[in-house]
Homo-oligomer: A and B are copies of this chain.
């Protein structure tokens, strides 16, 4: 960083800080002004650190009151978190509507890759009579339209032909369904919000759909321990709203929160936006109730942080995509909602700077870092070109990389001070070329919108080949660059994702689907990932899409043991067949 830039940055920080101190009392609720580049800032080719140092209105009016900490401490950012959450929900819904409209154009069939298992029975009239007897008619769905929706995945990429959906209301009903299906060798597909991306939650052929939406009660919440116990069909966003009132948050958050169910989240070991802070569900899920294929109910619904009494079998059901059992109840540790949230949108000139920034963020922001997302220039351009609602917060130039950093902590002034010191240092060392700090809900949402709008922008741009990879951070972007070289001008290669977790979303965008392009991408992308000991599915799971590709990320001994465990728990293979494990191992 040259002396001019350093001096300008210091001035901006100093100026902004003083200004904020003076303005704490007099700012209006609609305050949205920014500290833009000062007139004394040097011009030229160097991008300026366009530091927008602005405080949320509610924070500005918040005064620490030692007599009433309990009420004043956690409440003032509640609206921020909540509003931000609502924003993300809306985004997801609009994407969903859009993608449904697009499905006609980009629909692709993948059903032909497996054959129906002839061992499975087909439904007959006696089966229907039995199900109506144990469930009542309204929970036995044969309506064509409802089945059409339930047979089709979120991306309109996979489509089954199930003739029956069952909606049990409690564990006993689900247990009786499975006991019967197992005895009759009727295959089933467990379905939650049906928001998966790998064809895991829809039938491949005529499997009975067991939808958990009616099992949606919150059973208990302990305000001392933060342990929530609920049924599997609770929608994630409803749990977030419930906890918000109690001063807690869910340890996971993802774009599909408005539709996805906690049982599905756990069955697929959902990652999402908070993993960098709160870790994986293997760490936060404390207990599960699960119904096995034969209908037996496994009560592992502990609410304890520590329990070393035998094998911790609940982990078998976290991420096994409903192929070992169906989750019916969940016990999960929820963190307290912290009062201070800050979001910075930064530009970096190269990928090595993004890596170094991550290293510094982990060290300097430490305990308050709650998200570290990145996107490349191609992703930024897509969003700017295809989403009307997005504007570039750093318009002076298009940079090669952008990073979104979120901090969440318990003290606004401390966090702000820490973030400013971190950003100042990042500027001095030249890691960051430009940047902005969110000032209010609206700006925070607009920053998140850029990152979260990428899937929607990709869909609008044409056909898209999506890959969800875990790779060592230092290697991650090499794959994007190699893919660009392979594809030449035939397609637009886009890289973005959860850099803090080593999770790359590699997307190839083209005007329409083309087998020649696919042949350039696969199996290259899987082989490359395998060579670098990465994962071909970081957070989306294997489902139907990648069941046969498991060996790219798992050793044959490990896959063999998975198959043995599948056969032990589900000898007839009725639970979510054709998914996760290669079919050849189960026949």
Contacts of A349 in B (CB 8 A): none
Whether A309 contacts B550 by the Cβ 8 Å rule is yes
With contacts A66-B425, A536-B309 taken as known, whether A502 is within 8 angstroms of B315 at the C-beta atoms is no
With contacts A310-B542, A312-B318 taken as known, whether A305 is within 8 angstroms of B275 at the C-beta atoms is yes
List the one stretch of A111-119, A391-399, A506-514, A560-568 in contact with chain B.
A560-568
Whether B428 contacts A364 by the Cβ 8 Å rule is no
Contacts of A184 in B (CB 8 A): none
- From B283, B421, B539, A284 is in contact (CB under 8 Å) with B283
A300–B296 Cα distance when bound, in Å, is 30
A247–B364 Cα distance when bound, in Å, is 12
A225 at the interface (CB under 8 A from B): yes
Contacts of A474 in B (CB 8 A): 224
Residues 573-586 of chain A, each 1 if its beta carbon lies under 8 Å from chain B, else 0? 00000001100000
- From B365, B367, B501, A368 is in contact (CB under 8 Å) with B367
List the one stretch of A21-29, A129-137, A411-419, A479-487 in contact with chain B.
A411-419
- Chain B nearest CB from A460 CB (Å) reads 27
With contacts A282-B283, A315-B282 taken as known, whether A537 is within 8 angstroms of B247 at the C-beta atoms is no
Q: Which of A501-559 contact B (CB under 8 A)?
A: 501-503, 533-542, 546, 550, 552-555, 557-559
A360–B561 Cα distance when bound, in Å, is 46
- Chain B nearest CB from A198 CB (Å) reads 9
A541–B308 Cα distance when bound, in Å, is 5
A324 at the interface (CB under 8 A from B): yes
Q: Which of A214-230 contact B (CB under 8 A)?
A: 222-226
Whether B298 contacts A555 by the Cβ 8 Å rule is yes
Whether A69 contacts B421 by the Cβ 8 Å rule is yes
Whether A313 contacts B503 by the Cβ 8 Å rule is no
A379–B158 Cα distance when bound, in Å, is 63
Which of A299, A363, A471: most chain B Cβ within 10 A? Answer: A363
- Chain B nearest CB from A547 CB (Å) reads 9
A279 at the interface (CB under 8 A from B): yes
In the complex, residue of chain B having the shortest beta-carbon distance to the beta carbon of A367: B367
Q: Which of A446-474 contact B (CB under 8 A)?
A: 470-474
- From B66, B365, B550, B558, A424 is in contact (CB under 8 Å) with B66
A203 at the interface (CB under 8 A from B): no
In the complex, residue of chain B having the shortest beta-carbon distance to the beta carbon of A325: B561
Whether A565 contacts B568 by the Cβ 8 Å rule is yes
Contacts of A503 in B (CB 8 A): 305-306
Whether B310 contacts A581 by the Cβ 8 Å rule is yes
In the complex, residue of chain B having the shortest beta-carbon distance to the beta carbon of A318: B312
In the complex, residue of chain B having the shortest beta-carbon distance to the beta carbon of A223: B359
- From B222, B280, B320, B537, A283 is in contact (CB under 8 Å) with B280
Q: Which of A84-109 contact B (CB under 8 A)?
A: none
Contacts of A62 in B (CB 8 A): none
In the complex, residue of chain B having the shortest beta-carbon distance to the beta carbon of A424: B66
Whether A309 contacts B555 by the Cβ 8 Å rule is no
A430 at the interface (CB under 8 A from B): no
Contacts of A297 in B (CB 8 A): 557
With contacts A474-B224, A557-B296 taken as known, whether A275 is within 8 angstroms of B562 at the C-beta atoms is no
A128 at the interface (CB under 8 A from B): no
A74 at the interface (CB under 8 A from B): yes
Considering only CB atoms and an 8 Å cut-off, how many residues of chain A contact the other chain? Answer: 105
Residues 248-291 of chain A, each 1 if its beta carbon lies under 8 Å from chain B, else 0? 00000000000000000000110100010001101110000000
- From B69, B282, B304, A502 is in contact (CB under 8 Å) with B304
A366 at the interface (CB under 8 A from B): yes
A316 at the interface (CB under 8 A from B): yes
A319 at the interface (CB under 8 A from B): yes
A449–B280 Cα distance when bound, in Å, is 34
Contacts of A408 in B (CB 8 A): 367
In the complex, residue of chain B having the shortest beta-carbon distance to the beta carbon of A73: B364
With contacts A308-B539, A564-B568 taken as known, whether A365 is within 8 angstroms of B316 at the C-beta atoms is no
A307–B502 Cα distance when bound, in Å, is 10
A16–B424 Cα distance when bound, in Å, is 31
Whether A539 contacts B73 by the Cβ 8 Å rule is no
Whether B305 contacts A546 by the Cβ 8 Å rule is no
A210–B25 Cα distance when bound, in Å, is 69
A546–B307 Cα distance when bound, in Å, is 13
- Chain B nearest CB from A130 CB (Å) reads 24
A355 at the interface (CB under 8 A from B): yes
In the complex, residue of chain B having the shortest beta-carbon distance to the beta carbon of A317: B311
A428–B498 Cα distance when bound, in Å, is 43
- From B280, B300, B364, B562, A558 is in contact (CB under 8 Å) with B300
A160 at the interface (CB under 8 A from B): no
A319–B363 Cα distance when bound, in Å, is 31
Q: List 5 A-B contacts (CB under 8 A).
A: A308-B535, A309-B536, A312-B318, A367-B410, A568-B568
List the 3 closest pairs (A to B, CB-CB), nearest first.
Answer: A283-B283, A315-B315, A366-B410
A271-B306, A310-B320 known, 10 other contacts, Cβ within 8 Å: A69-B364, A296-B557, A304-B535, A306-B498, A308-B319, A309-B536, A310-B558, A313-B565, A366-B410, A568-B568
Residues of A within 8 A of B (CB): 64, 66-67, 69-70, 73-74, 222-226, 247, 268-269, 271, 275, 279-280, 282-284, 296-300, 302-313, 315-316, 318-320, 324, 336, 338, 355, 358-360, 362-368, 408-411, 414, 417-418, 421, 424-425, 428, 470-474, 498, 501-503, 533-542, 546, 550, 552-555, 557-559, 561-562, 564-565, 568-569, 580-581
